[in-house]
Amino acid sequence: MNALLDVLDLETARLGPLSLRLAVGELVQVTGASGSGKSLLLRALADLDASRGLVRLGDCDRDRIAPGDWRRQVAYVPAETAWWAPRVDGNFPPGWRLHDAKSWLACFALPDDALDWEIERLSSGERQRLGLLRALLNRPRVLLLDEPTANLDRENTQRLEAAVRRYLAEHGAGAIWVSHDRLQQDRLGGRVLEIHDGRLRS
Ligand SMILES: Nc1ncnc2c1ncn2[C@@H]1O[C@H](COP(=O)(O)OP(=O)(O)OP(=O)(O)O)[C@@H](O)[C@H]1O
ipTM: 0.95
Of 29, 30, 38, the residue with max ligand 1 atoms within 8 A of its CB, to mutate for a pocket test, comes to 38
Domain 3-201's class?
alpha beta
Of 10, 12, 14, 193, the residue with max ligand 1 atoms within 8 A of its CB, to mutate for a pocket test, comes to 14
Instruction: List pLDDT tens digits, range 88-125.
Output: 999 999 999 999 999 999 999 999 999 999 999 999 99
Instruction: List pLDDT tens digits, range 27-74.
Output: 999 999 999 999 999 999 999 999 999 999 999 999 999 999 999 999
Closest CA to 143 of 52, 60, 11, 46: 46
Instruction: List pLDDT tens digits, range 6-19.
Output: 999 999 999 989 99
Q: How far is the CA of 77 from the centre of ligand 1 (A)?
A: 16
Question: Would you state the pLDDT for residue 2?
Answer: 72
3-class state of residue 146 by DSSP: strand
**Which residue has the CA at smallest separation from atom 16 of ligand 1?**
37
3-class state of residue 21 by DSSP: strand
Rg (CA), the chain: 16
Please identify, by atom number, the ligand 1 atom nearest to the C-alpha of residue 32: 21
Band of pLDDT at residue 1, cut at 50, 70 and 90: low
Report percent pLDDT > 90 for the chain: 93
Please identify, by atom number, the ligand 1 atom nearest to the C-alpha of residue 41: 18
Which residues have C-beta within 8 Å of that of residue 9, sequence separation ≥ 6? 16, 17, 18, 19, 52, 53, 54
Q: How far is the CA of 14 from the centre of ligand 1 (A)?
A: 9
Q: How far apart are CA 111 and CA 102, in angstroms?
A: 8
Rounded mean pLDDT of 151-173?
Answer: 94
Question: Would you state the pLDDT for residue 128?
Answer: 93
Q: How far is the CA of 158 from the centre of ligand 1 (A)?
A: 27
